[in-house]
Amino acid sequence: MSEKKLKFNSKTIHGGQNPDAAYGAVMPPIYQTSTYAQTTPGGHKGYAYSRSANPTRTALENSLASIENGNYGLAFASGIAAIDAVIKLLNPGDEVVSTNDVYGGSYRLFKQVFEKFGIKFQFIGMQNAEAIEEYITENTKLLWIETPTNPMMNIIDIKAVSKLARKHNVLLAVDNTFATPYLQVPLDLGADIVMHSATKYLGGHSDVVVGALIVNDKDLADKLYFIQNASGAVCGPMDSFLTLRGIKTLHVRMQRHCENGKAIATYLAKHPKIEKVFWPGFEDHPNHEIAKNQMSDFGGMISFIPKGSNYENAIKIVEKLQIFTLAESLGGVESLAGHPASMTHASIPKEERQKSGVVDSLIRLSVGIEDKADLIADLEKAIG
């Protein structure tokens, strides 16, 4: 099947998938095995040891490559493990330029784990792609971006940044966790590496922790595969199966996430007790035009600031919500609410956090696929 020709809504179901060779199972079996019988040393069917490769993981990796329009997919034990593998492409003295409201766990990995190995990280505002160039030095090897960003919903122009990356011969990696390939396909826009926390929308049911990388270039894929096997943070067979099952409904879930997201963003924006709503679908969002160009819709992630609110107030609101569950994470079928300053972004120092707009009163919503009337009623009660 020439599946590069399939439409996205078919790739989620068929991309990289074939009925199992042994019995024709339509879903790939969970190959819960660490090792494989060999007829003679090296005489195996492509699988020798499950850190190096496992058939259920291969099925997921092929699906990931297909939905992101890439040639190679790699599945990891977590999103962070996938990021860890990318940074291990670098050497001491190399520099990375990243965005100043990057995911808190990425920031922690960069600053607290990799900086002591001599890799330098700079965190800058990237809403204006041209402003990035002055931070690129001869030691810069990687641009690490996220769009929309978490939790400020800033939009970065992937095409413009990829042009800069080409010009300076540096790699561009895009964390596509928030958008998913349903909304935007970074490899088509010139990125070299796409990364996912498949824990979120790809898995979609808040039941796994999984990470992914997708690339087009064979040489880059080989290097990442070497690191995946050498460092060993691989995705297990059961988690591979669950993520694959999640991906099969990604397009229908995303459609509803977008529909509900729009309804709730619009409701909040009109609410007299709400100061500001951050959602790229608004025409007055500073990079709305770029969002419109590179995304097919605007997603279900929304942040907002209640009027006259502070740390305690914001916490009171999230505690009052009943259908929105107060929890870390995002992208599942159920709606979640979070308080970035004390939860997802607590590992970023307060001054850094506030510089990028993550104030103490900010609340983040991951709008699920429940009935939107119930979600709005829940917010109405909590905001008061």
Ligand X SMILES: *Cc1c(COP(=O)(O)O)cnc(C)c1O
Q: What residues are annotated to the active site?
A: 51, 103, 175, 200
Q: Report the residue from 12, 56, 58, 78 that binds ligand X according to the rule CB under 6 A.
A: 78
Considering beta carbons, is residue 186 or 211 the nearer one to ligand X? 211
Q: Counting contacts by CB under 6 A, is residue 303 touching ligand X?
A: no
Q: Counting contacts by CB under 6 A, is residue 280 touching ligand X?
A: no
Q: Counting contacts by CB under 6 A, is residue 378 touching ligand X?
A: no
Burial of 10 (0-12, 13-18, 19+ CB in 10 A): middle
Q: Report the residue from 11, 88, 200, 364 that binds ligand X according to the rule CB under 6 A.
A: 200
* Residue at 96: amino acid letter: V
Q: How far is the CB of 363 from ligand X (least distance, A)?
A: 16
Q: How far is the CB of 76 from ligand X (least distance, A)?
A: 8
Rounded CA-CA distance 338/325 in Å is 8
One character per residue 124-163, x = contact with ligand X (rule: CB under 6 A): ----------------------x---x-------------
Considering beta carbons, is residue 66 or 106 the nearer one to ligand X? 106
Task: Show contacts of 59-63: CB within 8 Å, 24+ apart.
Answer: 59/16, 59/17, 59/28, 59/240, 59/244, 60/235, 60/240, 60/241, 60/243, 60/244, 60/247, 61/16, 62/15, 62/16, 62/17, 63/12, 63/15, 63/16, 63/17, 63/244, 63/247
Considering beta carbons, is residue 208 or 274 the nearer one to ligand X? 208
Binding part of the chain for ligand X, among 44-52, 135-143, 170-178, 264-272 by CB under 6 A, reads 170-178
Q: How far is the CB of 105 from ligand X (least distance, A)?
A: 5
Q: Report the residue from 62, 106, 184, 287 that binds ligand X according to the rule CB under 6 A.
A: 106
Q: Kindly give the residue spans of alpha helices, DSSP state H, lying in 280-363.
A: 288-294, 311-320, 350-355
Q: Counting contacts by CB under 6 A, is residue 80 touching ligand X?
A: yes
Buried b (16+ CB within 10 A) or exposed e, 270-302: ebeebeebbbbbbeebebbebbbebbebbbbbb
Considering beta carbons, is residue 47 or 178 the nearer one to ligand X? 178
Q: Counting contacts by CB under 6 A, is residue 209 touching ligand X?
A: yes
Q: Counting contacts by CB under 6 A, is residue 211 touching ligand X?
A: yes
Q: Is the dihedral of CA 252, 258, 263, 264 positive or negative?
A: positive
Residue 272 tokens, joined: 């007299």
Binding part of the chain for ligand X, among 63-71, 197-205, 304-312, 363-371 by CB under 6 A, reads 197-205
* Residue at 154: amino acid letter: N
Considering beta carbons, is residue 112 or 169 the nearer one to ligand X? 112
Q: How far is the CB of 106 from ligand X (least distance, A)?
A: 6
Rounded CA-CA distance 11/64 in Å is 10
Rounded CA-CA distance 367/72 in Å is 31
Rounded CA-CA distance 382/273 in Å is 11
Q: How far is the CB of 191 from ligand X (least distance, A)?
A: 15
Q: How far is the CB of 64 from ligand X (least distance, A)?
A: 14
Q: Are 195 and 79 in contact (CB under 8 A)?
A: yes
Q: Counting contacts by CB under 6 A, is residue 105 touching ligand X?
A: yes
- Select the residue whose beta carbon is closest to ligand X and give its number: 79
Q: Counting contacts by CB under 6 A, is residue 60 touching ligand X?
A: no
Residue 158 tokens, joined: 């992937």
CA-wise closest residue to 215 among 60, 50, 86:
86
Using CB under 6 A as the criterion, which residues of the chain lie in contact with ligand X when the complex forms? 78-80, 103, 105-106, 146, 150, 175, 177-178, 197, 199-200, 209, 211
